[in-house]
Amino acid sequence: MAVVEPGLRLSAQRALLGAVHPGVRLVKVRRDGNCIVLTTICDGPFEDDLLDALSTAAAEIAADYPDCDVDERISISTDPLPKEDILAEGWIFQRAEPSVRQPSIVLKKAVSGPLMA
């Protein structure tokens, strides 16, 4: 298993500080030779300020890796997030999302009469 290098992950995390908007579900980064791929999954249409923030983050990553090009990929999806190795795929941000919950069962202890010591 190839893990995304820690320096690249830290560079991306630093670049994204204060840049992750509420509509962002997932951000991941990986390097393929001289190309760094910055992937963002959003839950719906995004505003120009989100695009500006992500482009600024990509520029900061590029400054840390001047020998590489940065490929920014932004997609919209409400599908479940991929089930993949988060270290190998370079996940750096995942929004907390409600999961589908099963109806809960409440168990009550029936007490009849005085409690024994």
Domain range 6-94, its CATH number among 1.10.287.110, 2.60.40.10, 3.30.70.1350, 1.25.40.10:
3.30.70.1350
40: buried, middle or exposed (CB in 10 Å: 19+, 13-18, 0-12)? Answer: buried
pLDDT at 102 over 80: no
Torsion angle in degrees (nearest 10) through CA of 13, 15, 19, 22: -20
The per-residue pLDDT for range 3-40, each reduced to its tens digit, is 899 999 999 999 999 989 999 999 999 999 999 999 99
The pTM (predicted TM-score) of the whole model is: 0.79
**Confidence (pLDDT) at 14:** 96
CA gap 77, 69 in Å, rounded: 25
The per-residue pLDDT for range 4-14, each reduced to its tens digit, is 999 999 999 99
pLDDT at 117 over 90: no
Domain edges within the chain: 6-94
CA gap 105, 110 in Å, rounded: 15
